[in-house]
A and B are shown apart, each in its own frame.
Chain A
Amino acid sequence: VTTRRDFLRVAALAGGGLVIGFRLGADEAAVELRPNAWLRLTADGRITFLVGRSEMGQGVRTALPMIVAEELAVDLSAVELEQAWPGCGFDDLGTGGSSSMEDDWDRVRTAGAAAREMLVATAAARWGVDVATCRAESGRVHAGDGRSLAYAELVGDAAAQPVPASPPLKPASEYRIVGGTAARSDGPAIVRGTARYGLDVRRPDMRFAVLARAPSFGATVRTFDAAAALAAPGVEACFRVPRGVAVVARSTWAALRGREALSVEWDEGPHAVFSSEAHADRLVAAVAEPGITTRRDGAGRDALAGAAARHEATYLYPFAAHAAIEPVNATAQVRDGGCEIWSPTQTPEAVRRFVAEQLGVAPEAVRVHTTLLGGGFGRRLGWDMELDAAAVAARVPHPVQVVWTREDDLRHGYFQAASAHRLIAGFDAGGRLVAWEHRKASTPHNARRPVTAEQLRDPRYLAGSSWGVNDTPYHVPAVETSYAVVEAPVPIGPWRAVFSPPSVFARESFVDELAACRPPWAPPASSPPGPAAHRSA
């Protein structure tokens, strides 16, 4: 659990980009209550909540503040937001798996309640009354006799209180904010056009870059001729980076014109002939036979042999790109032995670690600023865009924004794997569904986490890649699911709900077919999904 249990009494407000421009008396500025990584209360009455998850439209910059405001007993409007960054005291800033609320519910409640209890104890001590006679409400502590003190008047002394590890949490019956509706915190900025996404990042004297990227998977640069590119107006530099040739210019447009003029000779490698159509044929061929069994109930597929009637169908699902509306981008500045990254990332800690590794510096020398995300869907769980930006910025004495065009995005991201599905249902003489087989053929690779040859033969590993197949919610006496691995030289990675969408598409389409086939076949009975239900990217 992320809890920074130190109290800070600092000579000035620490780390406060948001407080610049505020003029405070020296005494007011001298104290803050920082009971944990999430909260900072200062004597000027400001309450700052550090948001430890990335906002990509799921509303986490509204929902988490609702939780903390509830337990801290303040109005939601009193809570200012600051985006957390790697190194600021959080254990985990990653945003994926649709789990932010599930993961942070207890932690953020506890963070808010701990601060509240410290403020209440401080007020009780100042009044010389029993803590139990005091209560917190709307940013004030109230005594039983009607006296009250604002949190701002208490934070200095509260900082000397011990941080309660298990403060009492509000019962749900007392909720005023949680369970209700709140206006989205970023809503006004969005409709005014002032919300800042990664592509909106502007730094003094910055440059813009695009990469000439490989024409086929795994291709490498053999040689390139930058003369024509460098002659394009606004183009300032052109050099090789790990994933292509960078064109750096004074504007994105100039960089794009430079890239058009650039001449690159590629060593296309063995995958130049890869085609989605031929791959689809291999997938369909692979489901002609059962793969490695990932679940078997009852007699499994053997029950099909004794069925009075059968129905079969094959489904094919293509490679899918994320296509987030905000084009992929990242901005980097490398100087003074360190690096700053501005990025719409779902995984700021991985960005810090791998950028540091690439630059050969300590992680502490890399500062990651997470912007708003114009969609994530798992694409921004990757860190390739930040590595590109750092590689370019390392060669240029300016901050550089590396921009991906939509074409770059669709060709050079990582993809949800294409798959084929063969489903076979068996019915008894009464039209009841008694046997169910679902074969999946696909590529369970993960660009972010390489898969070993052993894993590709391991039924348990393949079962873990079979969401939507082996967790079918339909009750059938005999079930067999299997996975046939078909290799593809295509980068595969988490894409919204990861393995589930193609599998569920096939499964539910098949149920539709079974329903349409009646009589004599009846659709299988439905039941709620079990605990191994779907997780999304």
Chain B
Amino acid sequence: VLEGDAAVRSCQVTLAAAAGRRYTTIEGLSADGASRCQAAWLDEQVSQCGYCQAGMILAVESLLRRVPRPTREQLDGALDDHLCRCGSYPRARLAARRAAGLGGEA
């Protein structure tokens, strides 16, 4: 989830610690499901089973809010801690670059 603009793990935040802070879940990221990362994820057909994708999308969204013009290395770094058991990483990297307005090869 996003805590403000920072990506945090919801299971690591207690309600007491959340008091007074603003959180955004994947469901609340956009009204139409067409935010830059969601659209890029669909364009690149990233998802396989899809279970891990909410975390990846919010991690990249968090980076883009804080660093509007990130490097490829920064984008890869945002995805660093995310495990995808299906192996969607190459497409996730492409989608992150697309969302950031960077083109190019994997």
Task: Answer whether residue A217 sits at the interface, using C-beta atoms and an 8 A cutoff.
Answer: no
Whether B42 contacts A188 by the Cβ 8 Å rule is: yes
Minimum CB distance partner of B95 in chain A: A191
Whether A326 contacts B26 by the Cβ 8 Å rule is: no
A325-B49 contact, Cβ under 8 Å, with A191-B38, A377-B85 = yes
How many A-B pairs have beta carbons closer than 8 Å: the answer is: 70
From B33, B38, B47, give the contact of A57 (CB < 8 A).
B47
Task: Answer whether residue A183 sits at the interface, using C-beta atoms and an 8 A cutoff.
Answer: yes
Task: Answer whether residue B48 sits at the interface, using C-beta atoms and an 8 A cutoff.
Answer: yes
Whether A374 contacts B51 by the Cβ 8 Å rule is: yes
Give 1 or 0 for each of B73-94: 1 = CB within 8 Å of chain A CB.
0000000000111100000000
Task: Answer whether residue B4 sits at the interface, using C-beta atoms and an 8 A cutoff.
Answer: no
Main secondary structure of the interface of A (DSSP, over half): loop
Whether B49 contacts A184 by the Cβ 8 Å rule is: no
Minimum CB distance partner of A326 in chain B: B51
Whether A56 contacts B33 by the Cβ 8 Å rule is: no
Whether A193 contacts B45 by the Cβ 8 Å rule is: no
Q: How large is the interface on A (under 10, 10 to 19, 20 to 34, 35 or more residues)?
A: 20 to 34
Contacting residues, chain B, for A191 (C-beta < 8 A): 26, 33, 37-38, 41-42, 47, 53, 57
Whether A375 contacts B51 by the Cβ 8 Å rule is: yes
Minimum CB distance partner of A188 in chain B: B33
* A179-216 contacts to B (CB < 8 Å): 183-184, 186-188, 190-195, 197
* A279-322 contacts to B (CB < 8 Å): none
Minimum CB distance partner of A189 in chain B: B50
Whether B50 contacts A57 by the Cβ 8 Å rule is: yes
Contacting residues, chain B, for A374 (C-beta < 8 A): 49-52
Contacting residues, chain A, for B105 (C-beta < 8 A): none
Minimum CB distance partner of A327 in chain B: B51
Residue of A57, A194, A376 contacting most chain B CB atoms (<10 Å): A57
From A184, A194, A373, A377, give the contact of B47 (CB < 8 A).
A184
Minimum CB distance partner of A193 in chain B: B26
Contacting residues, chain A, for B49 (C-beta < 8 A): 55-57, 325-326, 372-376
Whether B42 contacts A187 by the Cβ 8 Å rule is: yes
Task: Answer whether residue B67 sits at the interface, using C-beta atoms and an 8 A cutoff.
Answer: no
In the docked arrangement, what's the CA distance between A231 and B76, Å? 46
Whether B27 contacts A193 by the Cβ 8 Å rule is: yes
CB distance from B92 to the nearest CB of A (A): 12
Whether A192 contacts B33 by the Cβ 8 Å rule is: yes
Task: Answer whether residue A134 sits at the interface, using C-beta atoms and an 8 A cutoff.
Answer: no
Give 1 or 0 for each of B10-46: 1 = CB within 8 Å of chain A CB.
0000000000000001110100010001100110010
Whether B42 contacts A323 by the Cβ 8 Å rule is: no
Whether B25 contacts A375 by the Cβ 8 Å rule is: no
Minimum CB distance partner of A377 in chain B: B85
In the docked arrangement, what's the CA distance between A372 and B27, Å? 18
Whether B38 contacts A325 by the Cβ 8 Å rule is: no
A325-B47 contact, Cβ under 8 Å, with A192-B27, A193-B26 = no
In the docked arrangement, what's the CA distance between A192 and B45, Å? 14
In the docked arrangement, what's the CA distance between A184 and B50, Å? 11
CB distance from B83 to the nearest CB of A (A): 7
CB distance from A58 to the nearest CB of B (A): 7
A324-B54 contact, Cβ under 8 Å, with A187-B42, A191-B42 = no
Whether A193 contacts B54 by the Cβ 8 Å rule is: yes
A193-B47 contact, Cβ under 8 Å, with A57-B86, A183-B42, A375-B86 = no
Minimum CB distance partner of B40 in chain A: A191
In the docked arrangement, what's the CA distance between A194 and B51, Å? 11
In the docked arrangement, what's the CA distance between A323 and B51, Å? 13
Whether A375 contacts B85 by the Cβ 8 Å rule is: yes
A323-B85 contact, Cβ under 8 Å, with A187-B42, A192-B26, A194-B27 = yes
Contacting residues, chain B, for A183 (C-beta < 8 A): 42, 45
From B37, B42, B50, B85, give the contact of A195 (CB < 8 A).
B50
In the docked arrangement, what's the CA distance between A324 and B27, Å? 23
Contacting residues, chain B, for A372 (C-beta < 8 A): 49-50
In the docked arrangement, what's the CA distance between A321 and B31, Å? 39
CB distance from B91 to the nearest CB of A (A): 11
Whether A324 contacts B26 by the Cβ 8 Å rule is: no
Identify the B interface with A (CB < 8 A). Answer: 25-27, 29, 33, 37-38, 41-42, 45, 47-54, 57, 83-86
Identify the A interface with B (CB < 8 A). Answer: 55-59, 183-184, 186-188, 190-195, 197, 323-326, 372-377
When A and B form their complex, which 8 residue pairs have the shortest distance between CB atoms, in order from nearest?
A57-B49, A374-B51, A57-B48, A193-B26, A190-B50, A192-B33, A191-B38, A193-B27
17 contacts between A and B (CB under 8 A): A57-B48, A57-B49, A59-B48, A183-B45, A186-B47, A191-B37, A191-B41, A192-B27, A193-B29, A194-B27, A197-B51, A325-B84, A326-B51, A372-B49, A374-B51, A375-B85, A375-B86
